[in-house]
Amino acid sequence: MTTIEQRATQRSQSEPRRRSGKRPVWMETPGPLVQAAKAVALGISLLLVIIPFWSVLATSLADQQTINSSGGGMVMWPHGFSLNAYSAVLSGGVVTRAMVISILITAVGTFVSLATTAGLAYWLSRPGAAGAKPMLLLVLGAVLFTPGLIPSYLVVKEFQLLDNYASLILPVMVNAFNVIVMRAFFQQLPQELFESAAIDGASSATILFRLVLPLSKAVLAVIGLFYAVSYWNAFFNAMLYIQTTDKWPLALVLRTFVVNQSAIGGDQVGSGEALPPQLPMQMSILVIAILPILLVYPFLQRHFAKGVMIGAVKG
């Protein structure tokens, strides 16, 4: 056997098994036992997620007799359904006003945060942009070191933002982590497209609004959902900066009612009907607070599934 034949034989023996048509182990179809185990694990995980939500919804719809029979605790299936808790919560006007305030804060805050985050991330993603490196160091420093409670309060007070809705948006307008994620996404876009647009005379603003943002719907949907959820659920800043109770957002109203056991509804429900038990009223406010996010998420799910993979795959 010649030297060339020996080398060919050694090379053929060292070839990966994929040439024989066999796929890697992790790509093989699992057996029935493995599939059954996955189905059981998925079913258990699904139940662990659904059961608490169902218990909250069922308790909010339970009548007085069901609550009394359960010992005043949570119920899984009410014997009689009643909307008195929702009527009592919404009739007082406090929850309705707080919901409108939360919707406005979430809408304005999400728009402002997305605009500033996209602009800052685009600037940091441009090669050779003036001052980009020092600003990137500041952004990374903001991820590692968060401001303290007292300095944040003093800054808000110095700018005369106390008891103002701007205090719920401006201090948290830009999230450093979201900036880094969006910058990484912008850097993965084809740079040749931007270079050709610049050669044709397009300005940086034109490239951002005409090219970058239309190609970045996935990351905008993900970051926008993160901002919207944080604005909707935020209550601590409102508790610090908003002194007027009529300006409280829904999250703070919910926290006050659940923790401090404060009354929200009126003294009567309808005409002459007593207030429902306190627990169904608490759960009804919780359902009202969860519902808007549940309604918005299906419209963003298509982009969200793609956006969460940002930076996970190279090439």
Domain boundaries, the chain: 30-82, 87-307
Task: Pick the more confident residue, 71 or 86.
Answer: 86
> What does the DSSP 8-state code read for residue 190?
-
pLDDT of 204 reads: 82
Which has the minimum average pLDDT: 83-92, 181-190, 303-312?
303-312
Q: If residue 115 lies in a helix (H) or strand (E), which one and from where to where?
A: helix 94-125
- Sequence-ordered list of residues with C-beta below 8 angstroms from that of 273, at least 6 positions apart, any chain: 84
pLDDT of 19 reads: 45
For 123, the token pair is: 């600037």
Find the mean pLDDT for residues 276-297.
80
Q: Assess contact for 110 and 102: CB atoms under 8 A.
A: no
Highest mean pLDDT among 39-48, 132-141, 255-264: 39-48
- Rounded to whole angstroms, what are the CA distances from 179 to 117, 139, 204? 6, 8, 18
Q: Assess contact for 300 and 221: CB atoms under 8 A.
A: yes
Report residue 35's pLDDT band, with 50, 70 and 90 as the boundaries. Answer: confident
Q: Quick check: 13 pLDDT over 60?
A: no
Instruction: Tell me which residue of 172, 171, 168 sits closest to 101, measured CA to CA.
Output: 168
Highest mean pLDDT among 50-59, 76-85, 277-286: 50-59
**Termini Cα distance of the chain:** 43
pLDDT of 164 reads: 92
Q: If residue 218 lies in a helix (H) or strand (E), which one and from where to where?
A: helix 217-233
pLDDT of 261 reads: 57
CA dihedral 113→93→60→253, nearest 10 degrees, is 50
Task: Pick the more confident residue, 143 or 1.
Answer: 143
Q: If residue 139 lies in a helix (H) or strand (E), which one and from where to where?
A: helix 132-144
Find the mean pLDDT for residues 44-66.
85
What mean pLDDT is reported for the chain?
80
Q: Counting beta carbons within 10 angstroms of the beta carbon of residue 77, is it exposed (0 to 12), middle (13 to 18) or buried (19 or more)?
A: exposed
Task: Pick the more confident residue, 78 or 108.
Answer: 108
Indicate whether this model's pTM tops 0.85. Answer: no
Q: What CATH code is assigned to 87-307? A: 1.10.3720.10
pLDDT of 294 reads: 82
Report residue 271's pLDDT band, with 50, 70 and 90 as the boundaries. Answer: very low
Q: Quick check: 247 pLDDT over 70?
A: yes
Instruction: Tell me which residue of 62, 71, 94 sits closest to 276, measured CA to CA.
Output: 62
For 229, the token pair is: 């959820």
pLDDT of 268 reads: 40
Report residue 43's pLDDT band, with 50, 70 and 90 as the boundaries. Answer: very high
> What does the DSSP 8-state code read for residue 242?
-
pLDDT of 203 reads: 84
Q: Quick check: 270 pLDDT over 70?
A: no
Q: Quick check: 24 pLDDT over 70?
A: no
Q: Quick check: 141 pLDDT over 80?
A: yes
Q: Quick check: 111 pLDDT over 70?
A: yes
Find the mean pLDDT for residues 62-78.
74
